[in-house]
Structure 1
Amino acid sequence: MLKALLKFLTGGGESESSAAGSCCADKACSCKAGSGNPGSLRDLEGFVDYVVRLLVDYPDEVNIKSEENDEGCTIQITCRKEDIGKIVGKRGKTIMAIRSLVSGAAGRQRKRVSVEVLD
């Protein structure tokens, strides 16, 4: 999963198929990639899922959902209230880092993807 994202970020060719190493291979993402690498937004959703589950105390209660809107796609994270602070981090640095990686990878596909933590 991380190798696929790194390859995607550095432009090292097409990423591996999402069924091989993605956490959300069996989930249906409502956001679809228009042109280029199919499933790249699903890979981003899987990346967010992977990172968030490693950060929180209750990984089984993490839910990642993608939603299409006017400005692009939004990846929404829902979890327990006590785990929100772990995702956000001190002064929001952790969520800003996740958002930066996701928006950088999505920018390579000329897409706009945002990440939100829901209450």
Structure 2
Amino acid sequence: MGLKMREYCRRMSYLTTLVIPIAVALVIAFVGLTHPQWPRVYFIIGFLAALILLPGVTLGLKLSCTPVVEEDVEFLGTYGPGWIGVRHANGAVARYHHRGLYEMHQSGHVRRGERLRLRFLEQEIISWESLED
């Protein structure tokens, strides 16, 4: 995949992954209605494929072009229901919404100052693990 296409897919919003297939399906339906001499079965198959297969393709392209970033951070504590604070290696303090880490801290399994390895997909924490045993 070319660099420009990869950048486009990475920057594409999740809403766009649904809007593009709907627009393609509407174009197929419009062409099918304006050309009654052509076989209808082709338009029906194309319309259904645009609504069923194309969202999966566009979402797959977006997810495959979005990198997963792994960082080692220091856990700072919780900042409200579901919100946690961490200090990155460069000293920047950030807050993220992650229900699992919040509950682990509330139950005493994750302590303040503990080193964690977080995996981010864009700005979402998708997984984590403790670096201390």
TM-score by length of 1: 0.30
Query: Looking at both structures, which has the greater relative contact order when contacts are Cα pairs under 8 Å and sequence separation is at least 6?
Result: 1
Query: Which is greater in Rg?
Result: 2
Structure with higher strand content: 2
TM-score by length of 2: 0.28
